[in-house]
């Protein structure tokens, strides 16, 4: 008999640090181990594909697009033992108790998402998910200014740092964002 305990793993960090690649790697290993895996992605993130989780490097895995936690709950199959949730920072706060409920049902939950927004402030439900996780991996990218390890996401508007008062959520990739270290990260306040 398989005695599996539910758990939460969070993979976080700035954009371009490899979060989605790492999540896909873990989910593929679960598939190889013959676990019943379901992958969910926020429907808001359709940069590369509508029904796949796709990393900036091009790796992908089939996924179910959802707009909120209630949709994950409705689409969750009863025999699923491993769940992947990408771009969790966009989900509502209902994801926090739902993830705890999943662990009580002995489901392994692998979450990928930005821990901070372009202002370097906590992003959505991610701080709570990080606090509740058994395992947290904060990955770093490479600063596009100085080449040092980067932990921040810089939003650009016409090639210049976005203002603090700009909207928090704008979906994009290399044309709007780049990885920056603490020293090179700049968020002007006008």
Helix (H) or strand (E) holding 39: strand 37-42
178 is catalytic: no
Pair 150, 181: CB distance under 8 Å: yes
- Could you give phi then psi for residue 100, rounded to 5 degrees? -65, -40
How far is residue 87's CA from residue 106's CA, in Å, rounded to a whole number? 23
Active-site option among 9, 22, 50, 87: 87
| Cα 186 from chain centroid (whole Å) | 23
Count of other CB atoms within 10 angstroms of residue 1: 3
CA distances in angstroms from 183 to 2, 18, 97, 119, 180, listed in the order given: 48, 21, 36, 13, 8
How far is residue 95's CA from residue 73's CA, in Å, rounded to a whole number? 10
How far is residue 96's CA from residue 50's CA, in Å, rounded to a whole number? 25
Active site residues: 87
């Amino acid at each position: 008999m398989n005695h599996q305990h539910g758990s939460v793993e969070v993979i976080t960090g700035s954009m371009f640090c490899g979060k989605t690649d790492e999540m896909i790697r873990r989910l593929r290993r679960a598939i190889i181990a013959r676990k019943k895996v379901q992958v969910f992605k926020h429907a808001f993130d359709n940069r590369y594909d509508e029904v796949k989780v796709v990393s900036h490097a091009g790796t992908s895995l089939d996924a179910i697009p959802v707009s909120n936690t209630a949709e994950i709950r409705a689409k969750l199959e009863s025999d699923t033992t491993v769940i992947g949730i990408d771009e969790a920072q966009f989900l509502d706060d209902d994801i926090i108790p739902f993830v705890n409920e999943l662990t009580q049902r002995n489901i392994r939950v692998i979450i990928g998402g930005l821990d901070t927004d372009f202002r370097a402030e906590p992003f959505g439900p991610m701080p709570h998910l990080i606090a509740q996780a058994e395992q947290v991996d904060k990955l770093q990218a490479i600063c596009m200014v100085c080449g040092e390890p980067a932990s921040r996401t810089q939003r650009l508007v016409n090639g210049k740092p976005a203002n603090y008062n700009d909207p928090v959520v704008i979906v994009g990739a290399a044309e709007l964002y780049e990885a920056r270290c603490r020293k090179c990260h700049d968020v002007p306040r006008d």
